[in-house]
Amino acid sequence: MEPTKYIWFDGEMVPWADANIHVLSHALHYGTGVFEGIRAYETPDGTAVFRLTDHMKRLRQSAKAYSMKLEWSVEELVEAAKETLRVNGLESGYVRPITFLELGALGLNPSGARVRTAIITWRWGAYLGEEGVKNGIRVAVSSWRRFPNTAFPNAKATGTYINSILAKMEAVENGFDEAIMLNQDGVISEGSGENLFVVRNGLVYTPPIAVGCLDGLTRDAIIRLLEDEGHTIVEKTLDRSDLYYADEAFFTGTAAEVTPVREVDNRAIGDGTPGPVTRQAQGLYADLVSGKLDSHRDWLEYV
Ligand code: PPE
């Protein structure tokens, strides 16, 4: 990753190299952090951050779930993210806000630990590769189950990502691009860092949030964009066979955007190339974030 000039750290612009924390930080030992992933895009009217306010709202919700006192309001975080993009001269890029517990508490009781917030921006290309965006990726159902309701699957907490990391590492070690995780009941949940859609006989399916997947903002956007085009989206628990028998499948996420899945567990999905609904979803999303769509303009927040 290419460093940018500044990182916003608790209200100040700090040079990249100086945005450091102590090894005794609570978050390092126990994963007590919450974060977001956001993308900014170039549009004809300047740089626009996609659903910035919604992402900052989710950051505050995640913090609330873990009783972290985030001192910055949604409005302040929104402005700070825009300012970080501006000072770094980024016309497009990824925005990573993170709130975490630093010094002041040892042991599992986090009481007294200082809550810190940083916003980092950088250039980030295709998350699952340019080739994947074009022709689709190969995935495998993971032997790791998605963590259950012993934490908050709906909050983006740093510590819980150790679960996604096990699944991702296993997939890559076995020669796949990405993993799909089942939940504790054995139904399909999501990718290690993406929500999943499948298309069969003209209907579009995605697992309901209740299975324990993240309530993805890209997932929500794709549901609405496809509905606008007359598609029926069914939120339904899916099992492994729904994946094997699908005509099309694709992932959604801020980092992954819309990435076609062409193979699962060494079986081709459909004819093994991205299908028409997948292409349509990709096209609609690309037009939306680059300011070429007339609808949902309120999701673009200009820097
Ligand atoms: N599920 C998980 C587990 C997840 O981490 C993400 C985002 C999503 C679904 C999609 O959510 P949304 O971005 O709101 O549409 N993962 C972020 C982190 C990726 C990373 O490697 O770090 C992201 O896409 O920014």
What radius of gyration do the chain's Cα atoms show?
19
Label residue 146 by pLDDT band (50, 70, 90): very high
Q: How far apart are CA 175 and CA 266, in angstroms?
A: 10
Q: What is the DSSP string of 59-97?
A: HHHHHHHTT----S-HHHHHHHHHHHHHHTT-SSEEEEE
Q: Which atom of ligand 1 is nearest to the CA of 217?
A: 14
Catalytic residue among 5, 57, 69, 156: 156
Kindly tell me if the per-residue pLDDT of 237 is higher than 90: yes
Cβ atoms of residues 169 and 179 within 8 Å: no
Q: How far apart are CA 27 and CA 31, in angstroms?
A: 5
Cβ atoms of residues 272 and 135 within 8 Å: no
- Of the chain, the percentage scoring pLDDT greater than 90 comes to 96
Kindly tell me if the per-residue pLDDT of 36 is higher than 90: yes
Q: Could you tell me the distance, in angstroms and rounded to a whole number, from the CA of residue 156 to the centre of ligand 1? A: 8
Q: Could you tell me the distance, in angstroms and rounded to a whole number, from the CA of residue 217 to the centre of ligand 1? A: 9
Give the residue, out of 180, 214, 224, with the most ligand 1 atoms within 8 A of its beta carbon, to mutate for a pocket test: 214
Domains of the chain: 6-122 (3.30.470.10), 130-289 (3.20.10.10)
Residue 147 bridge partners (DSSP)? none
Cβ atoms of residues 82 and 50 within 8 Å: no
Q: Which atom of ligand 1 is nearest to the CA of 37?
A: 25
Averaged pLDDT for residues 237-245: 97
Cβ atoms of residues 153 and 214 within 8 Å: yes
Helix axes 276-289, 217-228, angle to 10 degrees: 110
Kindly tell me if the per-residue pLDDT of 153 is higher than 90: no
Q: For this structure, is 156 an active site residue?
A: yes
Q: Could you tell me the distance, in angstroms and rounded to a whole number, from the CA of residue 230 to the centre of ligand 1? A: 27
Label residue 161 by pLDDT band (50, 70, 90): very high
pLDDT in tens, 70-94: 999 999 999 999 999 999 999 999 9
pLDDT in tens, 88-116: 999 999 999 999 999 999 899 999 999 99
Helix axes 52-65, 74-87, angle to 10 degrees: 120
Kindly tell me if the per-residue pLDDT of 19 is higher than 90: yes
Determine which residue's CA is closest to atom 8 belonging to ligand 1: 194
pLDDT of residue 62: 97
pLDDT of residue 86: 98
The one-letter code for the residue type at 58 is R
Q: Which atom of ligand 1 is nearest to the CA of 55?
A: 14
Q: Phi and psi of 276, rounded to 5°?
A: -65, -40
Please give the model's pTM, rounded to 2 decimal places.
0.97
Q: Could you tell me the distance, in angstroms and rounded to a whole number, from the CA of residue 194 to the centre of ligand 1? A: 5
Neighbour-count burial of 42, counting CB atoms closer than 10 A to its CB (0-12 exposed, 13-18 middle, 19+ buried): middle
The one-letter code for the residue type at 154 is N
Ligand 1 first shell, C-beta below 6 A: 37, 164, 190, 193-195, 214, 216-219, 252-256
Joined together, the tokens standing for residue 119 give 């916003």
pLDDT in tens, 248-289: 999 999 999 999 999 999 999 999 999 999 999 999 999 999
Label residue 13 by pLDDT band (50, 70, 90): very high
